[in-house]
């Protein structure tokens, strides 16, 4: 599955946030089988109100959301790239995730020590980013020597990989994260870049952890983080980990009242999970019937057979076509039969690029 790694300096609220996520997941476990929770990995349902709408129309007995994982990656301190703290372990853990959720302390509390002795989330972000860039720089400088030699010797593979390595190295030497080259990158280069598995090439989402009183409106620190994120083309989520930990323990009705009382429309975790999903470059398609309405995850740009393969490899191998109804058509027309009558159920073939919200029915050979 797809994984977001939660990183940040000590005492910024990572564990509090992670525990809230896993409590939410634990509460869901009864409804959603196959929810496994390892010590530092939690699988959570991706909240999507379209599921309820489709299920209502299809009169489905069951609703099954799609899921993503969050991994709590502890141990980052200044000097991690040189092996300080849990340095090497920490870096190895980051290599295994698809995207980074970077938690920044935006709450004041004299009882909780800040490792740098002051609240400055933008400086904290730079501290963490610097460690990741140093680790990338070191690993790339080491690896590029051989590749340069092999490229000079006209080895095909080295010749295709080298330009991406050089471009990454140039960014790092300039004090910039490798993800700066993601915008508009060609598909082949992206593959190569992902193969290099650099820490700073992974997409980042900033999470501002604020006090309860700032959960609805943010504060001066969150504004500073938002300004920084905007320059990087990154997204920001403002959340109070302490509130989320509380809400995760409440029953639905109680949680709703509690959130309303502090001016929030939904749990911050829902916003965080959806932002994580976007960050991973994922979209959702649905299958709907009397038995169940279910959400499935594919990467943006996936074609219909690949999407079918998420359900079962046989579906991909024997793919014939996909009956496709756009979510809006499905809902406004009132379901599959009505959509067919209105000519809004398209038969799509192997080259069809699946769109977010498509309601699909696969025809396949067994």
- Which residues make up the interface to ligand GDP (CB under 6 A)? 8, 10-16, 107, 109, 112, 209, 211, 240-242
Residue with the two structure tokens 């109100």: 49
| Least Cβ distance, residue 26 to ligand GDP (angstroms) | 18
Task: State the minimum distance, in angstroms, from the CB of residue 45 to ligand GDP.
Answer: 22
The answer to whether 280 and 99 have CB atoms below 8 angstroms apart is: yes
Query: Is 14 flagged in the annotation as binding?
Result: yes
Inter-axis angle of helices 156-173 and 121-152, nearest 10: 150
Burial of 307 per CB tally in 10 Å (0-12, 13-18, 19+): buried
Residue with Cβ nearer ligand GDP (221 or 321) = 221
CB 79 within 8 A of CB 87: yes
CB 226: neighbour CB atoms within 10 A?
17
Report CA-CA distances (Å) from 4 to 28, 187, 270.
Answer: 19, 22, 14
Distance of closest approach, residue 106 Cβ to ligand GDP, in angstroms: 8
Max Cα-Cα span within the chain: 68
Residue 21 or 68: which CB sits closer to ligand GDP? 21
**For residues 345 and 239, what is the distance between their CA atoms, to the nearest angstrom?**
41
Give the shortest CB-260-to-ligand GDP separation in angstroms: 20
How far is Cα 287 from Cα 283, in angstroms, rounded to an integer?
14
Q: Between residues 181 and 242, which has the closer beta carbon with respect to ligand GDP? A: 242
Closer CB to ligand GDP, residue 6 or residue 307?
6
Smallest distance, ligand GDP to C-beta of residue 302, A:
35
Q: Which is nearer to ligand GDP, 44 or 208 (CB)?
A: 208
Quick one: which of 295, 252, 244 has its CA closest to 272?
Answer: 244
Q: Could you tell me the smallest distance in angstroms from the CB atom of residue 74 to ligand GDP?
A: 6
Q: Is 87 annotated as a binding residue?
A: no
Nearest distance in Å: CB 242, ligand GDP:
4
* Shortest distance (Å) from residue 349 CB to ligand GDP: 49
Residue 344 marked in a binding site: no
Was 11 annotated as part of a binding site? yes
Q: Which is nearer to ligand GDP, 129 or 336 (CB)?
A: 129
Cβ closer to ligand GDP: 13 or 203? 13
Residue 320 in tokens: 């014939």
Q: Are 115 and 105 contacting, i.e. CB atoms less than 8 angstroms apart?
A: no
Question: Quick one: 77 or 134, whose CB is closer to ligand GDP?
Answer: 77
Known binding residues are 11-16
Known binding residues for ATP are 11-16
């Amino acid at each position: 599955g797809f994984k977001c790694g939660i990183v940040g300096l000590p005492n910024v609220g990572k564990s509090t946030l992670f525990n809230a996520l896993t409590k939410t997941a634990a509460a869901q476990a009864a409804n959603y089988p196959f929810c496994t929770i390892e010590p530092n990995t939690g699988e959570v349902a991706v909240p999507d109100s379209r599921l309820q709408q489709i299920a209502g129309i299809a009169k489905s007995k069951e609703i099954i959301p799609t899921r993503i994982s969050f991994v709590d990656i502890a141990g980052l301190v200044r000097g991690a790239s040189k092996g300080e703290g849990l340095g090497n372990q920490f870096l190895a853990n980051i290599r295994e995730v698809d995207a980074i959720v970077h938690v920044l302390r935006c709450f004041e509390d004299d009882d909780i020590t800040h490792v740098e002795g002051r609240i400055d989330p933008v400086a904290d972000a730079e501290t963490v980013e610097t460690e990741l860039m140093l680790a990338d720089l070191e690993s790339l400088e080491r690896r590029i020597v051989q590749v340069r030699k092999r490229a000079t010797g006209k080895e095909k593979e080295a010749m295709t990989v080298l330009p991406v390595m050089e471009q990454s190295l140039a960014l790092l030497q300039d004090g910039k994260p490798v993800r700066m080259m993601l915008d508009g990158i060609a598909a082949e280069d992206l593959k190569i870049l992902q193969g290099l598995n650099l820490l700073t090439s992974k997409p980042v989402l900033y999470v501002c952890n604020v006090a309860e009183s700032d959960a609805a409106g943010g504060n001066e620190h969150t504004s500073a983080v938002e300004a920084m994120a905007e320059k990087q083309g990154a997204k920001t989520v403002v959340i109070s980990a302490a509130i989320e930990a509380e809400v995760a323990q409440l029953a639905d009705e109680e949680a709703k009242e509690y959130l309303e009382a502090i001016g929030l429309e939904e749990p911050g975790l829902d916003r965080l999970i959806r932002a994580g999903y976007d960050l991973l470059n994922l979209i959702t398609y649905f299958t709907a019937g009397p038995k169940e309405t279910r959400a499935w995850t594919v990467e943006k740009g996936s074609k219909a057979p690949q999407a079918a393969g998420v359900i079962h490899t046989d579906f991909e191998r024997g793919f014939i076509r996909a009956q496709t109804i756009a979510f809006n058509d499905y809902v406004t027309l009132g379901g599959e039969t009505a959509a067919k009558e209105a000519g809004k159920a398209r038969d799509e073939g192997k080259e069809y690029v699946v769109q977010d919200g498509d309601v699909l029915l696969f025809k396949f050979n067994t």
